[in-house]
């Protein structure tokens, strides 16, 4: 029923799952440098219509930037399996040694967006203590994301109208003011109709649901709900940010074929129909999330080049509840990765 908590809030205890303190805050800045480098490299390829080229540029820049970072990082979500990705593959060790962390990366979330110069592409990464991030299979995931106020009142299995009414109540808005982001895909025809019938507003996006999901948890974006099916690994990235921001994210794997289903089962997903809560996706409370805009977006602005410099805009979210928006100016050529 709208207005009643049907899902408990994410665990907001001060310590990590293992009882350790949060990852130190300065690591957030180290991670920011890595996504900034990826964003600058990808932004240089904007509009070239070359998706692999944009991805490759960002991957190379990110891989090089990792070499200076004081972590012993293990990629758990990356560019693919070892035999299909030369860099940032799952299981790759990155960093120059130090804090033992698991890493989820997407050097370009929204390669189509960069290739076409469209909004909302980001270079993105989450880190946690070891074992803190779900090893999501490369499959689809049904997703539901909302910000902190609506967090306790929605459920992925509730009817669409009920969830939207609950969000409207929690935000003290008329339902007609609630804005839902949905990937513009034929598979979402029924969902789009249900949202329209409920009377909420819709923002259809061509790509980039990580940005959209996180935007639900940042009040100034004007985005209140993200719904629909996108990539499962990207679901973990979005969940990491939303957990730190106090919102809610729920998912359910939706394998596209038997091969994907078998692979998910082989990875230990016994019951594929299981609802994945934000704490299933991000087990640890010791998480850092950061993203840099490649093209302008709802969360952050894209890279701007001027003279011999690039200006980047990033969001850094630390599990201790600090959110930073950082604008940086980088002299091009000052680092080997540029």
Q: How far apart are CA 40 and CA 38, in angstroms?
A: 6
| Among residues 234, 254, 285, 298, the one that binds ligand VTB under rule CB under 6 A | 234
Buried b (16+ CB within 10 A) or exposed e, 10-48: beeeeebbeeeebbeeebbebbbbbbbbbbbbbbbbbee
Distances in Å between the Cα of 72 and the Cα atoms of 20, 102, 127, 297 are: 17, 9, 11, 32
**Stretch of 53-61, 188-196, 205-213, 292-300 lying at the interface with ligand VTB (CB under 6 A):** 205-213
Q: Give the residue closest to ligand VTB by C-beta.
A: 230
CB closer to ligand VTB out of 63 and 142 = 142
Residues of this chain, 95-114, that bind ligand VTB according to CB under 6 A = 109-110
Residues of this chain, 54-83, that bind ligand VTB according to CB under 6 A = none
Q: How far apart are CA 262 and CA 193, in angstroms?
A: 32
Of 286, 238, 268, give the one whose Cα is nearest residue 25: 286
We find the least distance from the C-beta atom of residue 294 to ligand VTB, in angstroms, to be 13
CB closer to ligand VTB out of 171 and 264 = 264
| β-bridge mates for residue 126, sequence order | 104, 289
What are the two backbone dihedrals, phi and then psi, of residue 273, each rounded to the nearest 5 degrees?
-80, -5
| Among residues 129, 209, 260, 285, the one that binds ligand VTB under rule CB under 6 A | 209
Residue 129-148 contact track with ligand VTB, rule CB under 6 A, x = bound: --------------------
Distances in Å between the Cα of 274 and the Cα atoms of 96, 163, 192, 312 are: 38, 19, 24, 39
> Per CB under 6 A, does 2 bind ligand VTB?
no
We find the least distance from the C-beta atom of residue 211 to ligand VTB, in angstroms, to be 8
> Per CB under 6 A, does 230 bind ligand VTB?
yes
CB closer to ligand VTB out of 75 and 108 = 108
We find the least distance from the C-beta atom of residue 33 to ligand VTB, in angstroms, to be 24
| β-bridge mates for residue 254, sequence order | 140
What are the two backbone dihedrals, phi and then psi, of residue 276, each rounded to the nearest 5 degrees?
-100, 115
Number of C-beta neighbours around residue 49 at 10 A: 12
Residues of this chain, 175-204, that bind ligand VTB according to CB under 6 A = 183, 185
| Among residues 55, 92, 207, 254, the one that binds ligand VTB under rule CB under 6 A | 207
We find the least distance from the C-beta atom of residue 206 to ligand VTB, in angstroms, to be 7
> Per CB under 6 A, does 297 bind ligand VTB?
no
What's the distance, CA 72 to chain centroid?
Answer: 22
Residues that bind ligand VTB (CB under 6 A): 109-110, 183, 185, 207-210, 230-231, 234
């Amino acid at each position: 029923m709208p207005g009643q908590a049907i899902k408990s809030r994410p665990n907001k205890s001060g310590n990590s799952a293992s009882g350790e303190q949060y990852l130190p805050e300065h690591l957030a800045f180290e991670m920011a440098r890595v996504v900034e480098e990826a964003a600058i490299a990808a932004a240089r390829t904007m509009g070239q219509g070359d998706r692999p080229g944009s991805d490759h540029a960002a991957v190379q820049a990110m891989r090089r930037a990792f070499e200076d970072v004081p972590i012993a990082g293990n990629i758990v979500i990356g560019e693919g399996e070892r035999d299909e990705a030369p860099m940032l593959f799952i299981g790759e060790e990155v960093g120059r040694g130090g804090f033992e962390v698991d890493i989820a990366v997407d050097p370009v979330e929204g390669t189509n967006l960069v290739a076409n110069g469209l909004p909302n592409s980001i270079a993105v990464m989450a880190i946690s203590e070891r074992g803190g991030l779900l090893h999501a299979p490369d499959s689809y995931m049904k997703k539901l994301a909302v910000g902190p106020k609506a967090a306790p009142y929605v459920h992925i299995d509730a009817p669409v109208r009920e969830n939207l009414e609950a969000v409207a109540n929690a935000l003290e808005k008329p339902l007609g003011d609630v804005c839902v982001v949905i990937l513009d895909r034929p598979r979402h025809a029924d969902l789009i109709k249900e949202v329209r019938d409920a009377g909420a507003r819709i923002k259809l996006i061509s790509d980039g649901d990580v940005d959209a999901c996180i935007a639900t948890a940042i009040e100034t974006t004007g985005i209140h709900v993200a719904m629909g099916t996108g990539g499962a690994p990207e679901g973990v990235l979005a969940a990491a940010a939303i957990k730190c921001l106090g919102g809610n994210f729920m998912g359910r794997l939706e394998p596209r074929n038997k091969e994907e289903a078998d692979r998910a089962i082989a990875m230990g997903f016994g019951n594929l129909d299981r609802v994945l809560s934000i704490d299933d996706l991000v087990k640890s409370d010791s998480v850092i999330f950061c993203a840099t805009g490649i093209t302008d977006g709802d969360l952050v602005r894209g890279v701007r080049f001027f003279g011999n410099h690039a200006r980047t805009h990033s969001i850094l979210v630390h599990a201790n509840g600090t959110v930073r928006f950082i604008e940086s100016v980088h002299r091009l050529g000052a680092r080997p990765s540029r």
